Amino acid sequence: MSHVRVKEGRRFSVLTLTFIVVILCLLAAMAIPQFSAYRSRSSSPLMGTFDYDYAAPARINMSSSSTDALLSDFNTEEYDRIYENRFKDVSENPLSTFSIDVDTASYSNVRRFLQMNRMPPKDAVRIEEMINYFRYDYPNPEGEHPFSITTEISGCPWNPENRLVHIGLQGKSLDYKALKPSNLVFLIDSSGSMRSPNKLPLLKKAFRLLLDGLHEMDRVAIVAYAGSAGLVLPSTPASRKERILRAIESLSAGGSTAGGAGIRLAYRVAEENLLRDGNNRVILATDGDFNVGVSSTSELVRLVEEKRRKDIYLTMCGFGMGNYKDGRMEQISNAGNGNYFYIDNIREAEKVFVTDIRATLFTIAKDVKIQIEFNPAKIKAYRLVGYENRMLAREDFNDDQKDAGELGAGHTVTALYEIIPADSRGSARTSDPLKYQKTIVKSPASDTNEIMTVKLRYKPPRENVSRLIEKPVMHADIALKESSTNFRFAAAVAGFGMLLRDSEFRKDLTYQDVIALAKGAKGSDEMGYRTEFIGLVRTCALLNR
């Protein structure tokens, strides 16, 4: 009898253990969405701290593959950490130096989140890219230099005690009668991660739009990369449109992402068909998820830097969500003398590949750097709004070996400085007084009406020696409501970016303040971009109620 009881006891224990294991498995399966949300709030030196929840919806499209369904519960998007610029004391830091930035990826990526009724991650918000998404009405350049410099000073919308300085560059427009041919290589990510409708299918539609705008003397090659890199289409005249379209439509998503091998092949094709007096460019379209071959960001950056010295530029076009690698794509595009866009819908594809394509493809100035010298008799402290990952050392300004941003034909570039006037109660952090040196303010600094001097260096596209432009900025006591449309709209976009980033410098600024400021500065808005911006701010206000 005792032997029977032991066997029954063992059987009961096994059944109990099996039941427990089943329950634990069910609990683990239920926890996957929660784990995804927790993952998106993680912190790392590369990705920054995510304090939001943008996990993919629990509902799964049953028509997609089982792999897509599994991945839809996880979010591995990556954004480099941004440390917001702080106020600098003019007596200790009289110079501010940075590279221009004409990228716009951050704005369209932020729009993607808001149109999904989700707040974007803070580190996805690069304020300078949001400001420069929009065109501004600056005067056309005259004289020897390929761009004009416009400055304006008025009230600061988020801190009435401070002032805001607006700096605008306007690039020279193209002479369409003297256009030089383009040698383009489309480098297309056709890996398994590009299967979603907002990735490879949207990419194909975008490139069809681009093809429509090319001249018959332009040439196009297509390189795709997945399990292995491959030449889909050798360099072909753009006039052979049907052949190019068939090559684009033949692409299908599958395999792992041999990004490094694809980039090497694309540059080799571009180099073999190099146009000495033309425009040579690789256009890379991807979600940035390189994971096979030369895949580390530093390796890819070095590769792209090497090729830009041969006058082969790079344009990066980001697609998709869920595993988007924003930081990697921005770093690579910066190294390649190029541009960085994010294509979230077909209208953005039209803007990038139809409306702005000629300005994107044709560079009129490279290594464009800006250095501001502030007058300590007039300004106590300053803060550059945005451009955190474009900051340069003061010595870099005169160093022609130091890479900086490029300006395309007809492009505008806008930068804002928030300044604390010398007679203001505000202040910036300072260090201990120096023991061996003393800073002396020259007497003319108090007598002049100049508050700062803008210095700009650039190189013509085919030259390696920079040219210098200087322009003083005079004090002006203009009320915010009397400032230009350019000034007020750029300030509204900057204020919105500060709200999205939960900036400590936003003071009491509200979404309603941003809406009112933007509505009063909407202008003609032929394409509706500014109207769309106001709608996004309204969406954000509702999400934050």
pLDDT of residue 425: 86
Model pLDDT for residues 469-489, shown as the tens digit of each residue: 999 999 998 999 999 999 999
**What's 177-358's CATH class?**
alpha beta
Which residues touch 220 (CB under 8 Å, ≥6 apart)?
184, 185, 186, 211, 214, 233, 235, 236, 238, 244
CA dist., res. 43 & res. 35, Å (int): 14
Tell me: the pLDDT tens digits for 230-265?
A: 899 999 999 999 999 999 999 888 876 566 778 889
Average of per-residue pLDDT values in the chain: 84
Residue 31: pLDDT above 50?
no
At 257 the pLDDT is: 59
Identify the architecture of domain 88-174+364-430+437-543 in CATH: Sandwich (2.60)
Average pLDDT over residues 117-144: 95
Compute the C-alpha angle 22/23/27, nearest 5°.
120
* pLDDT tens readout for residues 283-329: 999 887 765 455 567 777 888 888 888 889 999 999 988 778 888 88
Q: Which of 124-138, 225-239, 393-407, 527-541 has the lowest mean pLDDT?
A: 225-239
So what's the pLDDT on residue 361?
A: 83
Q: What is the pLDDT of residue 98?
A: 97
The segment(s) of the chain belonging to CATH 2.60.40.1230 are 88-174+364-430+437-543
Which pair of structure tokens corresponds to residue 39?
A: 């993952």
- pLDDT, tens only, 74-95: 568 889 999 999 999 999 999 9
Structure confidence by residue, pLDDT tens digits, 397-456 = 999 999 999 998 889 999 999 999 999 888 888 888 888 988 888 888 888 999 999 999
**Predicted confidence (pLDDT) at residue 7 exceeds the cutoff of 60:** no
The rounded distance, in Å, linking the Cα atoms of 538 and 383 is 27
More confident residue, 533 or 331: 533
According to DSSP H, which parts of 185-339 are helical?
Answer: 200-212, 241-249, 259-272, 297-308, 326-335
Please report which confidence band the pLDDT of residue 540 belongs to, taking 50, 70 and 90 as the band edges: very high
Which pLDDT tens digit goes with each residue over 90-117? 999 999 999 998 899 999 999 999 999 9
How is residue 395 written in tokens?
Answer: 């010595």
Q: What is the pLDDT of residue 69?
A: 39
pTM: predicted TM-score of the whole model, two decimal places: 0.84
List where CATH 3.40.50.410 sits in the chain: 177-358
Determine contact, residues 225/233, Cβ cutoff 8 Å: no
Statement: residue 167 has pLDDT above 80:
yes
